[in-house]
A and B are shown apart, each in its own frame.
Chain A
Amino acid sequence: MFEAWKKHLKRGGGKKEEILAPVEGLAVPLSEVKDPAFSQEILGKGMAIIPSKGRIVAPVSGVLSVMFETMHAVSITADNGAEVMIHVGLDTVQLKGEGFQSFKKQGERVKEGELLLKFDLEGIKAKGYDLVTPVIILNTMEYPNMKSHVGKQIMELEPIIEL
């Protein structure tokens, strides 16, 4: 109880927090992602973006807590405690990093809007991969009132999730 209250205060007490779009594209609900790990919210709640540009920027300021060697997914632990995972495409782990380029290392501090990854949108698509990019809050349990903005075209750094 006390811990929950402290967390609440740390998050600025009741103030809405926003997660910004890490990539430009079409915002869709997770239920439309053709991978049950995402559509059934096994990894957490969130939304997805069908990218129209091959670059991923930091959706919040914090620490780059995961940068997979294969560069197909990253996760940022925001200064407010939210764990945001960005998974570029489905089954793209199989590309073993081909078509991806990273600009930050695991453990580094990142600022909102800083470039994290570039990827070859057309090349990866041509290989038959679905590039839909889920943006997931891994510690979903801490955010029972989370809301996502989907069903529209979004620009980089437009608010997509309210915690």
Chain B
Amino acid sequence: MKEYRYVVDDPMGLHARPASVIFIEAGKYMCSIEADWNLQKADCKSLLAIMGLGAKKGDEVIFRFEGEDEDAAYYAIRSVLDKK
């Protein structure tokens, strides 16, 4: 299992556009990718789940990767999040 702690930096939080970036990248990997925030869990392979988290600027979202390609997924998600 790998973990990445990400502090939301989009001033509008995880709205449709940033959520879709995570969703598209997550869909490329076999491992499970979960985003946790404020006692809620979102499956990153569901756009609805990511948007439903309601994470806002400054919130720390923990991404958890579990499965065979978790390393690749971890670096991929990190790179799209850090690029923004």
Q: Which residues of A contact B (CB under 8 A)?
A: 37, 42-44, 65-66, 68-70, 73, 75, 77, 83, 85, 87, 93-94, 96, 106, 138-139
Contacts and interface: CB of A to CB of B under 8 A. Distances in A.
Given A42-B20, A42-B24, A69-B56, A94 B12 contact: yes
A94 B11 CA distance: 9
A106 B49 CA distance: 12
B16 A93 contact: yes
Interface of B: 12-13, 15-17, 20, 24, 46-48, 51-52, 54, 56
B48 A139 contact: yes
A108 B71 CA distance: 38
A106 B12 CA distance: 17
B54 A96 contact: no
Nearest to A64: B52
B16 A83 contact: no
27 contacts: A42-B24, A43-B20, A43-B47, A44-B47, A65-B48, A65-B52, A66-B52, A68-B15, A68-B51, A68-B54, A69-B13, A69-B54, A69-B56, A70-B12, A73-B15, A73-B16, A75-B48, A75-B51, A75-B52, A83-B47, A83-B48, A85-B48, A93-B15, A93-B16, A106-B52, A138-B48, A139-B48
A15 B8 CA distance: 42
A70 B15 contact: yes
Contacts of B16: 37, 43, 73, 85, 87, 93
Of all A-B residue pairs in the complex, the 6 with the closest CB atoms, nearest first, are: A93-B12, A83-B48, A66-B51, A138-B47, A93-B15, A66-B52
A106 B48 CA distance: 12
Given A68-B15, A69-B56, A94-B12, 7 more contacts: A37-B17, A43-B16, A43-B47, A66-B51, A66-B52, A75-B52, A138-B48
B25 to A, nearest CB: 12
